[in-house]
């Protein structure tokens, strides 16, 4: 089976500073993969490099086609939805407008309308608040909105940058349950970057561990979770 | 009392000029988050283009529509050539760009059409409106066009996909790119629309202030005052702000001893400062609620 997303020898730079030092990994279609690592390891940079939001070299292929030279919006238009750190909510707009924006590149009006209803089924709290300014939502609700907005693209691949950040443990569990459901039922391939390794390994089927811009460990999520040495040296629990 | 009503009416009539200009100011502010100091000069140049077309024998409405199209394209060209390369530059660099643009357009207009004052026609006539000596049919027409423009803009931003995309690109460019919006073109589109609205303002103002390269100087300051008063994020606020500034200016000129005509402009400036201090979001600007 060929990989849906193939990253080879990825190096990324912020000005003169190199943040990624030749990262390689692959995602299979339909998989739910987590990318783990400490603060500053390069997790966010990896996601940003996929969407061409940071200067990088190396090869990133999506369905066999290179992403290099595509603008961020053109990467997104291929069906890659990115939920950024800090959620990227359009805080001055209503919840419903945020969802419409997620589908702004789609031409099928009827499909968009029914997808908004589907999101309200997934996340009932968004329906209650659909006319409210998105900035007034709580952190957890905003994260739900960010995931829903990304799904409105009908993505084939969804990238999530620390969805658990700043959320209460119960809300994180709920969110991860929904992510698993989306992965299974809607066949969306998911790559989730996390600091909360324990929860992420429960959710994912594949895992990569990165440290200072390099992959130091990869494999089946359960194996990594069960390997005490790895847990102690890289994941800190 | 009659003096008061008359002054209010006259204020509404001049306010229409400011409202129209303020609308263009808000439009560009929405797209690029800056005030374009060259907005007035762009409007003046467009007005000259329409005047030139009429000199060549094109009827008023034909020239009007052609000028709209020219201004729209011109706004986009200016953005692509001058301000796209400055997109990541600090705000002061952009301000310098606006001032350069101001000087260039002003001089080029003077070079082509010289600085003598020219008559400019009105499509609405200039007889008294409904028998009132205070509002002419031209001024009434101007109010009508401004309100119509406002309604069109409202529907555009609220109910069209491209309007929504433009708002998103203006408020959060990075997130907008992440939902697939080409933010760079949205900014260009904003420039085009602002230039077109400005050209309407110019063509409506010219019959009142006469056509010459410096015709927009004072008007733009009042337009800024109106936009700040109403709220830079709200087209409706800009229009109401325009009328309020017009009324305020007239009443102050009438009732405050010593103000008269000479001190009207400082009053507009004082108004800008007062509003910025007391209510920075303006009367109708959307207060942005954020929960962390």
* pLDDT 10s digits, A53-64: 999 999 999 998
DSSP B84: S
Q: Residue B134 has what pLDDT?
A: 72
Chain B interface residues facing chain A, Cβ-Cβ under 8 Å? 161, 164-165, 167-168, 171-172, 174-183, 286, 288-292
- State whether B164 and A71 contact (CB < 8 Å): no
Which residues make beta-bridge pairs with A190? A32, A158
Only one residue has tokens 């390099």, namely A214
Distance of CA A162 to the CA centre of its chain: 8
Distance of CA B264 to the CA centre of its chain: 19
* pLDDT 10s digits, B90-120: 888 988 999 999 999 999 999 999 999 999 9
Provide CB contacts within 8 A for B21, sequence distance 6+: B39, B40, B43, B198, B201, B205, B216, B219, B220, B222, B223, B226, B242
Chain B closest CA to A38's CA: distance in Å?
24
Q: Report yes or no: A6 and A60 within 8 Å, Cβ to Cβ.
A: yes
**Which positions 166-185 of A are in contact with B (Cβ < 8 Å)?**
none
Secondary structure class of A147 (helix, strand, coil):
helix
In angstroms, what CA-CA distances link B215 with B44, B50, B202? 7, 15, 9
Neighbours of B195 (CB within 10 A): 29
CA B48-B194-B23 angle, 5° bins: 100
* pLDDT 10s digits, A103-161: 999 999 999 999 999 999 989 999 999 999 999 999 889 999 999 999 999 999 999 99
* Torsion of the alpha carbons at B64, B70, B75 and B79, rounded to the nearest 10: 180
* Token pair for B156: 């555009």
Q: Residue B44 has what pLDDT?
A: 95
**Spatial separation of the C-alpha atoms in residues B109 and B96, rounded to whole Å:** 20
Choice among A20-29, A89-98, B225-234 with the minimum mean pLDDT:
B225-234
Q: Residue A1 has what pLDDT?
A: 56
For range A77-86, the mean pLDDT? 93
3-state class percentages of chain A: helix first, strand second, coil last, to nearest 5: 40, 30, 30
Q: Residue B290 has what pLDDT?
A: 47
* Token pair for A89: 């909510």
Chunked mean pLDDT (size 10), chain B, 292 residues: 81 86 86 85 96 95 96 95 87 90 94 92 82 79 90 90 91 92 92 93 90 89 88 87 89 77 75 82 66 46
**Spatial separation of the C-alpha atoms in residues B44 and B48, rounded to whole Å:** 6
* pLDDT 10s digits, B201-221: 999 989 988 899 999 988 888
Alpha helices in B133-178 (DSSP H): 137-159, 161-171, 173-178
ipTM: 0.90
- State whether B180 and A76 contact (CB < 8 Å): yes
Secondary structure class of A33 (helix, strand, coil):
strand
What is the average pLDDT score of chain A?
A: 91
**Spatial separation of the C-alpha atoms in residues A98 and A152, rounded to whole Å:** 10
- State whether A84 and B286 contact (CB < 8 Å): no
């Amino acid at each position: 089976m060929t990989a849906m997303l193939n990253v080879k020898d990825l190096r990324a730079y912020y000005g003169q500073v190199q943040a990624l030092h030749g990262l390689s990994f692959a995602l299979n279609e339909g998989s739910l993969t987590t990318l783990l690592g400490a603060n500053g390891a390069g997790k966010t940079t990896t996601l940003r490099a996929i969407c061409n939001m940071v200067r990088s070299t190396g090869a990133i292929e999506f369905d066999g086609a290179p992403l290099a030279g595509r603008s961020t919006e053109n990467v997104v238009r291929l069906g890659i939805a990115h939920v950024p750190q800090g959620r990227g909510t359009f805080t001055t707009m209503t919840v419903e407008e945020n969802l419409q924006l997620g589908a702004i590149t789609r031409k099928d009006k009827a499909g968009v309308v029914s997808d908004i209803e589907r999101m309200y089924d997934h996340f009932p709290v968004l329906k209650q608040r659909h006319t409210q300014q998105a900035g007034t939502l709580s952190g957890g609700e905003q994260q739900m909105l960010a995931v829903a907005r990304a799904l409105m693209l009908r993505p084939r691949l969804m990238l999530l940058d620390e969805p658990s950040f700043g959320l209460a443990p119960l809300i994180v569990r709920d969110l991860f349950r929904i992510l698993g459901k989306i992965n299974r039922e809607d066949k969306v391939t998911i790559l989730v970057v996390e600091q909360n390794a324990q929860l992420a390994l429960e959710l994912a089927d594949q895992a990569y561990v990165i440290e200072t811009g390099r992959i130091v460990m990869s494999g089946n999520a359960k194996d990594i979770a069960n390997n005490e040495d790895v847990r102690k040296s890289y994941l800190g629990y | 009392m009659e003096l008061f009503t008359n002054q209010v009416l006259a204020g509404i009539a001049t306010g229409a000029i400011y409202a129209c200009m303020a609308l263009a100011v808000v439009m560009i502010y929405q797209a690029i988050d800056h005030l374009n100091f060259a907005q007035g000069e762009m409007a003046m140049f467009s007005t000259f283009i329409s005047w030139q077309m009429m000199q060549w024998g094109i009827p008023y409405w034909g020239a009007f529509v052609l000028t709209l199209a020219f201004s729209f394209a011109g706004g986009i060209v200016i953005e692509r050539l001058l301000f796209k390369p400055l997109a990541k530059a600090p705000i002061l660099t952009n301000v310098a760009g606006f001032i350069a643009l101001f000087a260039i357009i002003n001089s080029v207009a003077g070079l082509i059409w010289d600085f003598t004052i020219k008559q400019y026609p009105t499509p609405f006539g200039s007889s008294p409106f409904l028998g009132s000596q205070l509002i002419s049919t031209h001024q009434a027409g101007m109010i009508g066009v401004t309100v119509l423009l406002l309604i069109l803009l409202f529907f555009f931003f609220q109910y069209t996909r491209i309007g929504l995309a433009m708002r998103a690109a203006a408020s959060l460019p990075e997130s907008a790119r992440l939902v697939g919006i080409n933010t760079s073109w949205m900014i260009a589109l904003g420039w085009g629309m602002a230039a077109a609205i400005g050209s309407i303002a110019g063509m409506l103002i010219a019959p009142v202030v006469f056509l010459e390269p410096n015709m927009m100087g004072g008007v733009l300051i009042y337009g800024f005052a109106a936009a700040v008063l109403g709220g830079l994020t709200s087209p409706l606020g800009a229009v109401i702000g325009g009328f309020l500034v017009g009324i305020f200016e007239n009443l102050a000129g009438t009732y405050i001893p010593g103000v008269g005509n000479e001190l009207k402009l400082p009053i507009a400036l004082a108004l800008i400062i007062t509003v910025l201090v007391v209510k920075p979001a303006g009367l109708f600007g959307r207060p942005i609620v954020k929960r962390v």
